[in-house]
């Protein structure tokens, strides 16, 4: 029973273009969503988050959009840079409790 | 601020052997988590501690996995006996009450290979 799903295992984008990573969830009790970035041989690091009371949160080149009716969120990276190449995990929480992670999307940004 | 420390970084064992992983969280972080990340999948929570008490261990395979956090600081996760399907990266994370989910910090993990 996967409550958080990232249906694209990989994504390849040209440097300077937009990267869009998608995430779907099934549990309507989730009220907080986070994106983590993971480089090889390192632990995941926090990137950006959004509360369910918002539909957009922006931090520099990173923007997260939340569509509660569709139970869908997305991470936009503009412009994409080669250093953004990593695995991106979507995670969700209900009432501040433990995080449930999606399976991850490997982003490759080509110079 | 020092990060979450984990050791060893890598471990290779034969099936049916035992193995233990160690985690030292960020100083002052009351909550400690152990996650299992199988290749190609997202991290899955095994156990959550609040100080030295267990909050959630519903996904811990208790017939072979055990974990403790005796003094509310560092923690050990043990597998006995190991199976091939236990091959994964074991991630420890910690968080402080005042920062909640935003302060969720992961260690670099221990990569376990069972052969």
Distance from CA of A29 to the nearest CA of B (A): 16
Question: Residue written as tokens 């609040």?
Answer: B50
pLDDT for B101 equals: 74
Out of A46, A102, A104, name the one closest to residue B102 (CB). Answer: A46
Of A66, A70, A69, residue with least CA distance to A92: A66
Question: Residue written as tokens 């490759």?
Answer: A108
Distances (CA, A) of B55 to A30, B6, B32, B87: 19, 21, 10, 25
When mean pLDDT is compared across A1-5, A64-68, A104-108, B4-8, the lowest value belongs to: A1-5
Q: Is pLDDT above 70 for A32?
A: yes
CA-based nearest residue in chain A for residue B39: A103
CA-based nearest residue in chain A for residue B4: A43
- Decide: helix, strand or coil at residue B51: coil
pLDDT averaged over every residue in chain A: 95
For B79-97, write each residue's pLDDT tens digit: 999 999 999 999 999 998 7
For A50-100, write each residue's pLDDT tens digit: 999 999 999 999 999 999 999 999 999 999 999 999 999 999 999 877 889
Which region holds residue B72: left if phi is over 0, alpha if psi is between -120 and 50, else beta? left
A48 sits in which H/E element: strand A45-51
Out of B42, B44, B107, name the one closest to residue A43 (CB). Answer: B107
Sign of the alpha-carbon dihedral angle for A80, A84, A87, A89: negative
pLDDT for A93 equals: 92
Out of B42, B106, B108, name the one closest to residue A104 (CB). Answer: B42
Residue B56, token pair as written in the block: 């959630």
What count of CB pairs under 8 Å joins A to B? Answer: 51
**Residue stretches of chain B with pLDDT short of 50:** none
Residue A83, token pair as written in the block: 């250093």
């Amino acid at each position: 029973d996967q409550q958080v799903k990232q249906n694209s295992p990989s994504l390849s984008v040209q440097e300077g273009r937009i990267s869009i990573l998608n995430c779907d969830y099934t549990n309507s009790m989730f009220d907080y969503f986070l994106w983590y970035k993971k480089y090889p041989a390192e632990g995941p690091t926090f990137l950006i988050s959004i509360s369910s009371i918002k539909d957009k949160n922006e931090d520099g080149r990173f923007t997260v959009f939340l569509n509660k009716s569709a139970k869908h969120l997305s991470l936009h990276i503009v412009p994409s840079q080669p250093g953004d190449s990593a695995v991106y995990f979507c995670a969700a929480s209900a009432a501040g409790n433990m995080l449930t992670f999606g399976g991850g999307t490997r982003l490759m940004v080509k110079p | 601020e020092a990060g979450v420390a984990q050791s060893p970084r890598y471990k290779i064992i034969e099936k049916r052997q035992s193995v233990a992983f160690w985690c030292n969280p960020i100083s002052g972080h009351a909550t400690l988590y152990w996650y299992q990340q199988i290749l190609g999948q997202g991290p899955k929570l095994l156990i959550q501690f609040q100080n030295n008490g267990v909050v959630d261990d519903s996904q811990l395979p208790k017939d072979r996995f055990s974990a403790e956090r005796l003094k509310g600081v560092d923690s050990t996760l043990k597998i006995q006996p190991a199976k091939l399907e236990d091959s994964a990266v074991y991630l420890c994370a910690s968080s402080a009450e005042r920062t909640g989910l935003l302060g969720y910090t992961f260690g670099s993990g221990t990569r376990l290979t069972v052969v």
